[in-house]
A and B are shown apart, each in its own frame.
Chain A
Amino acid sequence: MTQITITVNGKAETRDVEPRTLLVHFLREELRLTGTHVGCDTSQCGACTVHLDGRAVKSCTVLAVQADGGAVTTIEGMARGEVMHPLQAAFKEEHGLQCGFCTPGMIMSAADLLARTPQPTEAEIRGALEGNLCRCTGYQNIVRAVQTAARTMAKA
């Protein structure tokens, strides 16, 4: 076992983990933060996307020990109390989800994009979401949701 401390959604969490523990399992099973999903488990679908030290990463392809000492933000860290993050509100408003399985990953990838590129073009949005697969929506409304969120965030 290896002792690690990861700051998750602003709170330092110290645990003993097996070195082979993947970050996604640390989040879901150790911390019970089940908003981060496992879709493919083969680094393709992006359902497991979280922010590690400010960058979107696939937590199914990161060892928890690699994130030791780092800061992780998951979908649970996006809302402010009862107030949804503008991306969450926009996905709801624009019907950017159907079953919702891909949504946490979509939102974390989109949040990384908007942090770097507050007014993205449609091509930039589609490029940023290249590693996020959705089985339901056909992507149109997801792109629209990111555009809506970008407008809301520009006003705020």
Chain B
Amino acid sequence: MYPASFAYHRATSVSHALELLATYGDDAKVLAGGHSLLPVMKLRFAAPAHLIDLGRVPGMSGITESGGVVTIGAMARHADVASSAVVRAKAPLLAEVAGHIGDPMIRNMGTIGGSLAHADPAADLPAAMLALGASVVLQGKGGSRTVGADQFFVDTFQTALGAGELLVAVQVPVSSAACAYAKHPDPASGYAIAGVAIQLGASGGRVALTGLAPRPMRLAAVEAALAAGAGAAAADRAADGVEFIEDARGSAAYKANLARVFTQRALTAALARK
């Protein structure tokens, strides 16, 4: 399978990429590692006329920590995020989730920024971003803005990324709190049929779901129960207030049950690490 023809542009810097984006607008797609974009281009679900490749932009894949924030360049590969000493020590949930993405070869090419900008509702990373209270840095021609994960994921394949903006980095608050990710992978694609990420706090914690709903989301009822001291029993509330839609992957009742089961698994694992 070949993608449809496109004009290829190799960006040499972030500002060059932004210029190219401004020139080609909606006819352009940004290429990071290509592991979300190329599969949909091969299936001709996407046929951008212009591809702007960030692969040669220097300085976009660093991982650093300062002032209580871990900053990860958008072009950092999942394998590098999963194995980074900084991420493992300062944001262990992100390392754990990155290590669950796809398979080793996919993690060697796929990037954190590419996956987040694509916003597949079954991707693993959004659950981690929400549970961590992480943010993305969006760079436009006029400057940059930081958007929290709670605002970033708008809907299926839709984010707060504006036209002409580039996702350049991810920022994660340093945390050593107990955390866990529980995932039921699709056996063919490796995407999450259900994935629940949990980061416990001093009291309560953040709980986020991916895969089962049209977009990744925090599980407010579980978080409220945790804050009220429900412990592992908080998992019973995982389907409360969430609208599950019946599709090829199962009925609404099946999905609600998966949400409870995987919340329970993640919660049990996180509590055991406390």
Verify A49–B105 contact, CB threshold 8 A. Answer: yes
Question: What's the least CB distance linking A61 to chain B, in Å?
Answer: 5
Question: What's the least CB distance linking B239 to chain A, in Å?
Answer: 30
Verify A44–B189 contact, CB threshold 8 A. Answer: yes
Verify A19–B51 contact, CB threshold 8 A. Answer: yes
Q: In the complex, what distance in Å separates the CA atom of A46 from the CA atom of B188?
A: 12
Q: In the complex, what distance in Å separates the CA atom of A90 from the CA atom of B35?
A: 32
Verify A55–B79 contact, CB threshold 8 A. Answer: yes
Given contacts A46-B105, A56-B104, A130-B104, contact A62 B34 (CB under 8 A): yes
- Could you say which of B2, B104, B190 contacts A22, with CB atoms under 8 Å apart? B2
A43 in the interface, Cβ–Cβ < 8 Å?
Answer: yes
A20 in the interface, Cβ–Cβ < 8 Å?
Answer: yes
Residue of A nearest to B7 (CB): A19
B34 contacts across to A, CB distance below 8 A: 61-63, 66
B35 contacts across to A, CB distance below 8 A: 43, 61
B189 contacts across to A, CB distance below 8 A: 44
Verify B109–A131 contact, CB threshold 8 A. Answer: no
Q: In the complex, what distance in Å separates the CA atom of A18 from the CA atom of B1?
A: 14
Residue of B nearest to A108 (CB): B105
Verify A131–B106 contact, CB threshold 8 A. Answer: yes
- Could you say which of B4, B39, B79 contacts A42, with CB atoms under 8 Å apart? B39
B6 in the interface, Cβ–Cβ < 8 Å?
Answer: yes
A112 in the interface, Cβ–Cβ < 8 Å?
Answer: yes
Interface residue tally on A, bucketed by range? 20 to 34
Given contacts A2-B8, A55-B79, A66-B55, contact A20 B3 (CB under 8 A): yes
- Could you say which of A20, A62, A65 contacts B2, with CB atoms under 8 Å apart? A20
Verify A56–B105 contact, CB threshold 8 A. Answer: yes
A41 in the interface, Cβ–Cβ < 8 Å?
Answer: yes
Question: What's the least CB distance linking B76 to chain A, in Å?
Answer: 14
B108 in the interface, Cβ–Cβ < 8 Å?
Answer: yes
Question: What's the least CB distance linking A2 to chain B, in Å?
Answer: 6
Q: In the complex, what distance in Å separates the CA atom of A44 from the CA atom of B103?
A: 9
B31 contacts across to A, CB distance below 8 A: 63, 66
Q: How many A-B pairs with Cβ below 8 Å? A: 81
A109 in the interface, Cβ–Cβ < 8 Å?
Answer: yes
A58 in the interface, Cβ–Cβ < 8 Å?
Answer: yes
Question: What's the least CB distance linking B55 to chain A, in Å?
Answer: 6
A102 in the interface, Cβ–Cβ < 8 Å?
Answer: no
Q: In the complex, what distance in Å separates the CA atom of A109 from the CA atom of B109?
A: 14
Residue of B nearest to A21 (CB): B2
Residue of B nearest to A18 (CB): B5
Mask, B34-59, CB within 8 Å of A = 1, is 11001100110000000101010000
Which residues 14-69 of B have a CB within 8 angstroms of A?
A: 31, 34-35, 38-39, 42-43, 51, 53, 55
Question: What's the least CB distance linking A122 to chain B, in Å?
Answer: 16
Verify A131–B39 contact, CB threshold 8 A. Answer: no
Mask, A57-90, CB within 8 Å of B = 1, is 1100111011000000000000000000000000
Given contacts A58-B109, A61-B35, A62-B34, contact A128 B104 (CB under 8 A): yes
B164 in the interface, Cβ–Cβ < 8 Å?
Answer: no
Question: What's the least CB distance linking B187 to chain A, in Å?
Answer: 10
Question: Would you mind naming 14 contact pairs between A and B with Cβ atoms under 8 Å apart?
Answer: A19-B8, A41-B42, A43-B38, A43-B39, A43-B106, A46-B103, A58-B106, A61-B39, A62-B34, A63-B31, A65-B53, A66-B55, A113-B104, A131-B103
Other A-B pairs, 17, CB within 8 Å; known A19-B6, A57-B105, A131-B104:
A19-B5, A19-B51, A20-B5, A20-B6, A21-B2, A22-B2, A56-B104, A56-B105, A57-B108, A58-B109, A61-B106, A62-B34, A62-B38, A66-B53, A112-B104, A130-B103, A131-B190
